[in-house]
Amino acid sequence: MERKGLLISPELCIGCKACQIACKSWNLLPATKTRNNGSYENPPDLNGDNFNKIRYSEIPSETNPVRWLFVSQRCMHCDDAGCMRICPAPGALYKTADGAVAVNKNKCIGCKLCLAGCPFNVPRYGMDDKLSKCTLCADRMENGLIPMCSKTCPTGAIKYGDRNDLIGKATKAGYTKVYGQNDLGGLGALFAFKDAPKIYGYADKPEINEMVILWHKYLKPLSWIGLGGVAAASVIHYFAVGPHKAEDPNKDKEVKK
Partner 1 sequence: MRLNDRDMIRKETTFGIVNHWTLAISCILLTLSGYGFLFQIQIIGTMFCGFPAMKVIHNWLGVVFTASLVLSMVFWLKECITFDKDDIAWVKAAGGYLSHKVAIPPMHKLNTGQKLAYLGVLGMGFGIIATGFVIWLFPANQTLMIWSHFLHNLCFIGMALFIPVHVYLGAIANPGTMRIMIYGTVPVWWARKKSPKWIQEVEEGRHH
**Site residues, partner 1 (CB under 8 A):** 86-90, 92, 106-113, 115-116, 121, 209, 211-212, 214-215, 219-220, 222-223, 226-227, 229-231, 233-234, 237-238, 241-246, 248-250, 255-256
Q: Which is nearer to ligand HEM, 108 or 137 (CB)?
A: 108
Rounded to the nearest 10°, the torsion over CA 165, 170, 176, 179 is -90
Distance CA 33, CA 26 (A): 19
Length reported for the chain: 257
Distance CA 157, CA 9 (A): 5
Q: Is residue 91 classed exposed, middle or buried when 0-12, 13-18 and 19+ CB atoms within 10 A define those classes?
A: exposed
161 interacts with, out of ligand SF4, ligand HEM, partner 1, none, CB within 5 to 8 A per kind = none
List strands edge to edge, sheet with 158-162.
158-162, 4-8, 189-191
* 148: alpha, beta or left? (left if phi > 0; alpha if psi -120 to 50): alpha
Please check whether residue 46 is in contact with residue 53, taking contact to mean a CB–CB distance below 8 angstroms.
Answer: yes
Query: Is residue 90 within 8 Å of 106, Cβ to Cβ?
Result: no
Tell me the closest approach of the beta carbon of residue 235 to partner 1, in angstroms: 9
> Measured between alpha carbons, how far apart are the two ends of the chain, in Å?
84
Nearer to ligand SF4, 10 or 82 (CB): 82
Q: How far is the CB of 212 from ligand HEM (least distance, A)?
A: 10
One symbol per residue from 107 to 126: x for binding ligand HEM (CB under 6 A), - otherwise; what is it? --x-x---------------
- Residue 171's CB is within 10 A of a number of other CB atoms, namely 14
Whichever of 69 and 108 has its CB closer to ligand HEM, that residue is: 108
| 31 near ligand HEM (CB under 6 A) | no
Tell me whether residue 145 or residue 235 sits nearer to partner 1 (CB atom): 235
Closer by beta carbon to ligand SF4, 108 or else 167: 108
Residue 16 interacting entry, from ligand SF4, partner 1, ligand HEM, none, C-beta within 5 to 8 Å by type:
none
What does 78 bind: partner 1, ligand SF4, ligand HEM, none (CB cut-off 5 to 8 Å by kind)? ligand SF4
Q: Is residue 88 a contact point for ligand HEM (CB under 6 A)?
A: yes
Residues near ligand HEM (CB under 6 A) are 88, 109, 111
